A = this chain, B = another copy of it.
Amino acid sequence: MTGALSPEDLSACPAPLADRSTITLAHGGGGRLMRGLIDRQFVTAFSNAHLDQLHDGAVVDVAGARLAFTMDSYVVHPLFFPGGSIGTLAVNGTVNDLAMCGARPLYLSCGFLLEEGLPLETLSRIVDSMREAAGQADVQLVTGDTKVVDRGKGDGVFISTAGIGIVEHDRAIGPAQVRPGDVVILSGDIGRHGIAIMAVREGLEFETTIESDCSPLTGAVLPLLDAGIDVHCLRDLTRGGLASALVEIAESAGLHISIVEEKIPVRPDVQGACEILGYDPIYVANEGRFVCFVPAGEATRALEIMRGTVPGRDATVIGSVAEDGDHVVTMTSRIGVDRVVDMLSGEQLPRIC
């Protein structure tokens, strides 16, 4: 399901999924199908310089200040999982989108969509986890909204969180700034969030409990910027995993990204779970990992800074950028074979965030 289909394989599909006339779960998977939906429906309708960048958030000028503005909805199932809850996701996910714009997160607003019959005690536990996460990420929840839908028209709780942050530097950060020769730094091991959710959802038991990596990334990002590192692009790895994030950047930047499989940290328990479940870790969701593109000459200093922080303590270089005409991502496997890595085409795990 997440194998490495070549572009030829994909174009040979007789009836592309994207041509269906209704929304499928795969449209929410963070991969190719979602990207198509966003391009055709939203970018076409609302086209403007900010939206067209398809970044995790928009950076806008307001009265001389550079603000980052972002929004995410959270529909994770189940509501609680090892290492977090829909509440921790709803804070950290939006905090991380702001961090990926190179911004210091300041304020959040939350919209709660509650299903009739939800125990108030469940809501309290979620709110408690949000308060704790907001404290850790040093952001204030300043406004919000509550709606209730009839039983059977929701699923307990959905949360939408918007955030604003301040960009305290002049740097432009995004796929368009990626340059040939840049190195790709990954902030830590991948796949924990997806496997944690999958395990609790399917009642799987491993020797150890695999906890979600859900956490705020500002602690690793802001020191890079404060130190004046020439950060070209930042992207957190969520739905669609490392692979989909890199493919999106390669396509937007019009450059070739090559990564080396054995450089990508995957914990043995996560690797084992992936093998049992038939997943490739590079497609599995994360909620506390990001990639950072910097010039090769700054890689050592960037790594040093990141490794001095909690969210970046296992940071490592996993690849580099070159100017090939193909705009794809390739990965050198453990046995030395190069293969093209495509974006997740549909869904892997629905409602992972």
Return chain B residues, CB-CB under 8 Å to A107: 50, 58, 60, 69
B64, B71, B112: the one within 8 Å of A65 (CB):
B64
Interface string of A209-227 (1 = CB under 8 A from B): 0000000000000000000
Interface string of A61-85 (1 = CB under 8 A from B): 0111101011111110000000000
User: Are A148's CB and B28's CB within 8 A?
Assistant: yes
- A150 close to chain B: CB less than 8 A: yes
- A145 close to chain B: CB less than 8 A: yes
Known contacts A75-B149, A109-B69; is-contact A118 B162 (Cβ 8 Å): no
- A38 close to chain B: CB less than 8 A: yes
Interface residues on A, range: 35 or more
- A314 close to chain B: CB less than 8 A: no
Stoichiometry, as copies per complex, reads 2
Spell out A's residues near B (CB within 8 Å). Answer: 20-29, 34, 37-38, 41-42, 45-46, 48, 50-51, 55, 57-58, 60, 62-65, 67, 69-75, 106-107, 109-121, 123-124, 127-128, 130-131, 134, 140-150, 152-155, 158, 160, 162, 164, 166, 350-351
Return chain B residues, CB-CB under 8 Å to A22: 116-120
Known contacts A114-B27, A116-B23, A134-B46; is-contact A38 B155 (Cβ 8 Å): no
Known contacts A71-B162, A75-B113, A143-B71; is-contact A23 B106 (Cβ 8 Å): no
Return chain B residues, CB-CB under 8 Å to A55: 143
Return chain B residues, CB-CB under 8 Å to A141: 42, 46, 48, 51
Known contacts A41-B127, A50-B142, A121-B21; is-contact A62 B350 (Cβ 8 Å): no
Return chain B residues, CB-CB under 8 Å to A73: 111-113, 145, 147, 160
User: Are B148's CB and A42's CB within 8 A?
Assistant: no
Return chain B residues, CB-CB under 8 Å to A72: 111, 145
User: Are A28's CB and B114's CB within 8 A?
Assistant: yes
A64 and B72 CA atoms in complex are apart in Å by 27
